[in-house]
Each structure stands twice: as C-alpha cells, then as structure tokens.
Chain A
C-alpha cells in the first residue's frame, strides 16, 4: 500500500525523523490559515506548494487545466492563493501518471528549507528496502540527491552506496556514521545525519514498510538534516497489525475496478489489451497472459480468482473483465487441484446465464480434477462457449476467435 507524501512525513515525524514541516489542505480557502500556522511553527516566509498524488515526477509534471507544475514555490503569502489555485483540483500529468494524469485532491503547503546560511544546502538520495538476494534490509544512498536514481545507477554507479542491516543487531551507530562520512559530511552536519539515519531505520521497521525513498534528504545551510520528500510503501501483509497506518489508504488514488475486485478477493490488474483472462494462481495467470500474446492477442488484464473459484466469484470476475470495453474475447484457464473443474464449469454456466448477454466469445480451458466432466458440462450447456483441455488447444482457440 502506498501513502501520500504528507502521510509518510507524518509517520517519519512520529519516529523522530526531522522533516520539512507542512500543512495539508483540500480547499483553497484553507491556504492562508495553513500558511499562518506554518509561519508561526517554523518562521518560514516562503511556501512550497506540493500536489499530493501517488506518483513521482511531480515537480516536472504539468497540471493540464492551468499549465502549472506540480510543485511550486510561493515567495510570500501574497503569492500563495494563486499558486494553490494552479494545482489544487487540477489534473497533474507526470512521467509516472500516464497521459490521463491524476486529479489533485490535496496539496501540502510546506516550509521553505533552502534558506541561505553559513554553508551551502546539499541534497542527498536515501532509500530503505529489502535486499532480496540476502533477505536483509538495506539503506541505499547517494550524494546525487534530487535526481532520478535509476539514472544515477546507470551513469555513475560508484556514487551509489549500500549499508546492509543485521536483523539481530539492527542499524549500528558506526554504520550510520559511515553513511554520513560517505556523503561528505563533517561536524554538526555529520552528527545530524547519524541521528536522521538511525531514526529513519526505526521508522522503517516500526511501520512494517516495504520501501522508503527520501529524495532529497537535505542538509540545510544551518546543518540541519531533514526529509524534504517522502515516498513510502507499506507491506500489505503487515497491515493487519498496523491499523493506524492502514487507515491512511486513499482509494481515490487506485483504479476503481481494481478496488472493486479486491473487495471480492480477486487479484485484478487492468492492462491495455483486447483479450481478458480469468485464471487460478498468479503464476499461471501470468503464463496465460503470455499465451494470449503468442496467440496473436494482447492481454486486457491479470486476474487471479484464487483457490475457491465459486459461482459467485466467477460471475463477479466476468463482470469485472466485461467492464473493460476493449475486451473482445475472454480466456478462462483453471487448473483444478483442490477445486473441482466440474464445479467451476457449473459456476461458469450459472454466471453466464445470470449475466445474460456476454457479447464476446469465451474460451474455457479446465484441466485437472474432473476436467472431462467439466468439458462435458460446458459443451452440453448450449452456451456459446468454446472448451479446451490442453493449454495448446486453448491458445489455438484464442487465435481462431481473433481471426
């Protein structure tokens, strides 16, 4: 589960990680009050207005309706309303949102942390994530802050450092110091970075996160070290014990069809193709998508109906697939292990009758327990359903119906 920048920063703050402070608003009329409050709390006179959407590249992105970028500096309260108006309620298109963009329902009004002072402000990159090769968490960091980290990895891989954390010992002080020194810090800046990193790792562990990305981490001109941005992904499997954090879910950021599917325990991902599919098991579902492609189609979705393909779930799955107007055919691929194929077949027939006019050809491939009986049920149903038993046959049927 992803959370917004303002929510992620709130979590960091709870664990003592210094952040760029801010106030989140969803109405233009709240902007001046938020700025007053922020000015009292931090002394800031300038304000950074940041669109809150679940996608990166906001600073370079453009709001369709107004032409404004997704992150804009207001140099004083008098500019604030204009800046907020340019972003809030608009549709922000960034490199990560696709052409459709995302509606900005909230903006974060944040303090200006790039104020002049004794030293130059410096930006760094830092993330915390699982190193799957070792099964341990690691902190990945770079002095190249504010940049796209994939680009840094490509062009200057020697500027990316990692620090792996021993699960029993946790992040040790010498590791935090090494990070600070590798980033070129000394004196107060070094000490503040050590505190920052230690608190950051505690926040990662405490929140059961799957990924933190803080880009940039800023060393301000007065040597304070703080998180200016925050991208946070929580571990879905741990949400049951993170009630407070799971309440932060913003469904308006998710595809409504995927949300609806999730309510019925269907794992659905919408894609852009023309052949829908319904499969049991994630691996077989991906393999079925590959088959569709090889048969001359393009997969319209990923859909795992899970272990119990009951009539209700099959019907729901059909309805979800059919809600996509691009779907020209549906391939059902069920390998019955514990689930009996004849029951699935009955479920399909029932679902078909309940929905009425499906309007696109359906290819049903049932294999495993009671596959022969299942094929008979489909063939005898009188419905316009093509049945297959071998995977190869199913692929050939897809090619036929698309021809």
Chain B
C-alpha cells in the first residue's frame, strides 16, 4: 500500500520541458514511475520524452487522468503552479522548487485550505515509494521496498537515513521529504500520521532540524496516538542562535527551537532519539527487534 504515491499514481511534471523538469522526468520514467505527461504552457500538443505535453494542468487531468503532480517551475511562478494543480483537482502536489517568496506561500496556504488535495514541499526532494513510484529528485537506487516509513525536512539527510536502512537489510514503505521552508504543505506531524495509519509501515524514522515547532507537535501526536516505534534525530545541535543555516526554516529563535529542546520533548513522548545521524538505521533495527 504505502502512502501518497504508488504504482497506480498517474503522475505529471509541471515545468516538464525545462532543464530540471526534463532531467528528473527522465530519471523518474527510468525508475518505473507511471508518468502520464507534463505541463508547459504554450507547448500543449507536443510530445516530450515520449509523453504528451499539456498547456494546463486541467487538460492533463481531463485527458490523462493525472492525480499526482511534481513541480519544477522556477520560484517566481511556482506558487501559481501549485494553485493551478489544486484547482484542476490534483490530489497530491509535490513542489520541488526552492526559493519561493514567503508571501506567495501565505497565499498558497490560504488557497489550498478548502481544496481536497495535499501539498508536499516546497523546497523538498519529493516522495518515493520504492519499487513503485519515485516522484522527486532523490537517487532511486539507494532505496529498497520495505516497511520503514521516513519523514525528513532535508534532502541529503533523508538519503543518508534511507541508505542506512537499506544497508542494514531493511527497506522503506514510503520516504517523504517535507521541505525546509517556513511554510510547507505537509508538516512532520501530517507525514508521521499518514505513516502511522499505513498498514504497510511498521516503523517510522522522523528527521528534523532546528527552527519552528513541527517536531514537537509531531512528538505530542505520537505520544497520544502512536502505535508503531518511532526513531528520531534533530540536526543542528551545534548551530548558533539567530543564524540561518541554509534552509530558511532552520534558524533558532526561542529556546524551544533548539535541537536539545526538541530532542527532550521527543524523548518524553516515547520516541527513540539518536544523538548521532550515523546511528539512525542501527537504532531502527534495534527497536524493530531485528538484532
């Protein structure tokens, strides 16, 4: 089963014919994702990578039955692309684009509030259900179909966790990169909840960062509703206060924002917290009783 995307997902790429969109669309097709086409306004009717190009997301939904969209549109136009996908009835919108102005995302969040869809990202690596669908920019080959769900705010750190899980003989049900921006569509808690309710996920890895309260919110939810073991890590234990660490969302504001404070809350909520990112996979193996 897995969550968000699977082998039956009908995926389109917004920003299909651009360099980023083309490169990653090709990788997704190669992985075996069910890509049914893409959208580039003004290029409708053409064919690209052997798939149809549509002018609008609405056309892609009507003509190709698209229900998942992955967005590679440049930052100035990405907010519009997300809202177009929502308006067209796309159920899962995954926005890879980095650098969208916060003001645009405030509008997006409001616009999506009464739409029946889920946004993942922006500024994220995407979502993968190994062996079924890769919808994003992650390297496919490090993944292995399995029963561990992974949620993370960062790209390469997600790959790190995935790789450890795979190398220790386990695999992933779905790995979700939720993104590093201040406003994102799917929070840590949302993603953890999806995996907790997924019958094909047995354990969850939750990777956070300094800044905001998403990990604490997720931890409290796990304490109240958790039925599966959760392993957690927070990056930024050594980050100085008030400095932005690459991600716009990664900045320590108050004392509850620190890695230390978040890890403490997570421990209190029954999450198996590791201090070192090198121990994420091993800890998961332990709590699953596989050693």
Contact = CB atoms under 8 A, between A and B. Distances in A.
A286 B245 contact: yes
A282 B245 contact: yes
Nearest to B250: A282
A345 to B, nearest CB: 17
Contacts of B137: 337-338
B100 A237 contact: yes
Nearest to A393: B278
Interface residues on A, range: 35 or more
Interface string A338-366: 10000000000000000000000000000
Contacts of B40: none
A142 interface: no
A10 B245 CA distance: 29
Nearest to A294: B276
Interface stretch (B43-51, B86-94, B101-109): B101-109
A390 to B, nearest CB: 7
Interface string A382-398: 00000000111001000
Interface string B114-157: 00000000000000000000000111011000000000111111
A208 B75 CA distance: 14
Contacts of B246: 267, 281-283, 285-286, 302, 304
B139 A289 contact: no
B169 interface: no
B278 A392 contact: yes
B156 to A, nearest CB: 3
Interface in A278-300: 279-287, 289-294, 298-299
Among B103, B153, B163, B237, the one with the most A-chain Cβ atoms within 10 Å of its Cβ is: B103
Given A130-B102, A285-B246, A337-B159, A395 B278 contact: yes
Contacts of B158: 283
B76 interface: yes
Interface string A247-260: 00000000000000
A271 B109 CA distance: 35
Contacts of A267: 246
Nearest to A302: B245
B265 interface: no
A281 B99 CA distance: 14
Interface string A166-186: 111000000000000000000
B247 interface: yes
A283 B239 contact: no
Contact of B106 (A130, A236, A298): A130
B205 to A, nearest CB: 13
Contacts of A294: 275-276
A286 B250 contact: yes
B276 A132 contact: no
B248 interface: yes
Given A238-B101, A283-B180, A302-B246, A335 B76 contact: no
B154 A284 contact: yes
B276 A167 contact: no
A100 to B, nearest CB: 15
Interface string B168-195: 0000000000001011000000000000
B157 A283 contact: yes
B160 interface: yes
A369 interface: yes
A121 interface: no
B157 A287 contact: yes
Max chain A Cβ within 10 angstroms of own Cβ: one of B142, B155, B278: B278
A216 interface: no
B262 to A, nearest CB: 13
A136 interface: yes
Given A132-B183, A302-B239, A280 B276 contact: no
B237 A290 contact: yes
A168 B106 CA distance: 10
Nearest to A271: B240
Interface string B21-37: 00100010000000000
A210 interface: yes
B235 A238 contact: no
B103 A238 contact: yes
A335 B212 CA distance: 26
A271 B142 CA distance: 33
Interface in B232-255: 233, 235-240, 243-250, 254
Contact of B247 (A133, A283, A291, A395): A283
A205 interface: yes
A286 B246 CA distance: 9
Given A135-B183, A238-B102, A291-B276, A284 B160 contact: yes
Interface in B194-248: 207, 209-210, 212-213, 233, 235-240, 243-248
Contact of B138 (A279, A287, A337, A367): A337
B59 to A, nearest CB: 28
Nearest to A96: B242
B160 A205 contact: no
A237 B248 contact: yes
Contacts of A285: 245-246
Given A205-B103, A289-B238, A294-B275, A283 B152 contact: yes
B278 A391 contact: yes
A214 to B, nearest CB: 18
A292 B238 contact: yes
A388 B226 CA distance: 37
A302 B212 CA distance: 20
Contacts of A210: 102
5 contacts: A132-B212, A208-B103, A282-B245, A284-B277, A369-B141
Which 5 interchain pairs have the tightest Cβ spacing? A283-B154, A282-B246, A281-B156, A283-B157, A238-B101
Given A291-B276, A395-B276, 6 more contacts: A269-B244, A283-B156, A298-B238, A336-B139, A390-B278, A392-B276
